[in-house]
Structure 1
Amino acid sequence: MKRIIQSGSVPGVEERLRALFIRGLNGDAVAYRTFLDDLTGHLRGFLRKRIFYLQDDIEDVVQEILLAVHNSRHTYRPDEPLTAWVHGIARYKLMDFFRARSRREALNDPLDDALEIFATSDEEPADAKRDVGKLLEQLPDRHRLPIVHVKLQGLSVTETAALTGMSESAVKVGIHRGLKALAAKIRGTA
């Protein structure tokens, strides 16, 4: 059987998840629960890279994906990579999330812009998080991803390098240059 490793995945993850999943399909409840627990961690990482600016929504999307995996488990073909099958489900659920979110935002257009009562918020951390997310969106991936993973998510440089496919020195340089670019944007000199 040809071994396929998804970009950014760790060797052995495919084999471990696949073995647990197949044992779960064959009635091993403990293996299936372990599969779901392990998969949950991988899905969080997958989603943090894609919707890092919407951290509050990650758990909801993870649950949607896990439910879809469970409901679709009968469609999995054991001769194919499990990670590719799960990745396809995750992509579709992520697209569903974005579609639903854009519909919700369209329905929430303000009715009266003249009312200033909601113009300021006492939730400064939430505002700051949103503002940082907007600033980070302006950076190229080679700067944004190291900052997100190391500075915001607390991963090590080594873990970030393995996750992004960058060298450790490129991660360090990306952080330095990205923070420098963010500072320039905040000062208004960029």
Structure 2
Amino acid sequence: MNQTTGNDRYLAELMRSAQDGDGNAYVVLLHTITPMLRKAVSRQLAFYQRQDVEDVVQDTLLSMHAARASYDPERPFLPWLWGIARNRAADAGRRHARRAAREMTVAEVPETFPDPGANISVDDYRDPEALRQAIDGLPLRQRTAMELLKLHEMSLKEAASVSSMSVGALKIAVHRAVATLRDVLG
């Protein structure tokens, strides 16, 4: 018996145990196959960056996890795993080719946006006191929604429980508050 056959039987037994609900066997299986996958994918996709190889490895592990019930414990494990890895590598290659076809290389990345309104620096921003006064002048529900969601950065769920307003009411109040503030602040 060669080492590959023995290793395959060991991995098949781990997968069989994992299919039977043994979480520890699954952890050992993952820890055993991950370096093997990393090495195989690195060889297959030698032109990829390390993080791209890691993405393919993780995609392979996720696919294996999703398809683990389809593995037949009477069959060799490694060919089944390598089939999944080949498919994920092919998917990654297609994504890479599509992305490369759409990307355009530029000599210098602009630091600002083409829309001049989006390029307001902190120093150009209007008076913070005027903003505070404008917020204070909002109706109570709008002011409360703005303070909780925008100033205190609460989630909608948190703000709803604190303010006794529904999530929908908070969204509407913020929308109206922003419109009012745009009008007031010009």
Q: 2:108, 2:67 → 1: CA distance?
A: 47
2:82 to 83, 87, 90: 87
* Higher radius of gyration, 1 or 2: 2
Aligned ranges 1:148-159 → 2 under 5 Å: none
In structure 2, the gaps of 5 or more residues are: 110-186
Q: How far is 1:109 from its partner?
A: 2.4
Q: For residue 92 of structure 1, report the CA deviation from its aligned partner.
A: 0.5
Give the 3-state SS of the residue equivalent to 1:33 in structure 2.
helix
Matched with 1:74 is 69
Give the aligned residue type for 1:43.
L
TM-score between the two structures when normalised by the length of structure 2: 0.54
Q: Which has the higher contact order (CA 8 A, sep 6+)?
A: 1
Equivalent residue for 1:20, pick from 10, 14, 25? 14
SS state at 1:10 partner: helix
Q: Which amino acid aligns with 2:70?
A: T
- Give the residue type in structure 2 aligned to 1:92: N
What is aligned with 1:58?
53
Deviation for aligned residue 1:74: 1.1
1:47 CA displacement? 0.9
Alignment partner, residue 37 of structure 2: 43
CA RMSD in angstroms comes to 2.0
Q: Report the equivalent of 2:98.
A: 103
Q: Unpaired segments of 5 or more residues in structure 1?
A: 119-190
Q: Distance in 1 between matches of 2:108 and 2:39?
A: 38
Paired letter, 2:101: A
CA contact (8 A) 2:15 2:73 kept: no
TM-score by length of 1: 0.52
Where does 1:107-186 land on structure 2 (aligned, <5 Å)?
107-110=102-105, 116-117=107-108
Q: Distance in 2 between matches of 1:11 and 1:75?
A: 21
Deviation at 1:116, TM superposition (A): 4.0
Instruction: Report the identity percentage.
Output: 31
1:37 to partner: Cα distance: 1.1
How far off is 1:45 after superposition? 1.0
Question: Which segment drifts farther, 94-103 or 76-85?
Answer: 76-85
- In 1, Cα distance between equivalents of 2:70 and 2:4: 25
1:165-186 deviations in Å (ceiling 9; x for gaps):
xxxxxxxxxxxxxxxxxxxxxx
Q: CA deviation at 1:11?
A: 4.3
* 1:65 partner letter: T
* Residues 9-34 of structure 1 deviation map (CA, whole Å, 9 limit, x = unaligned): 73422011111111111111001111
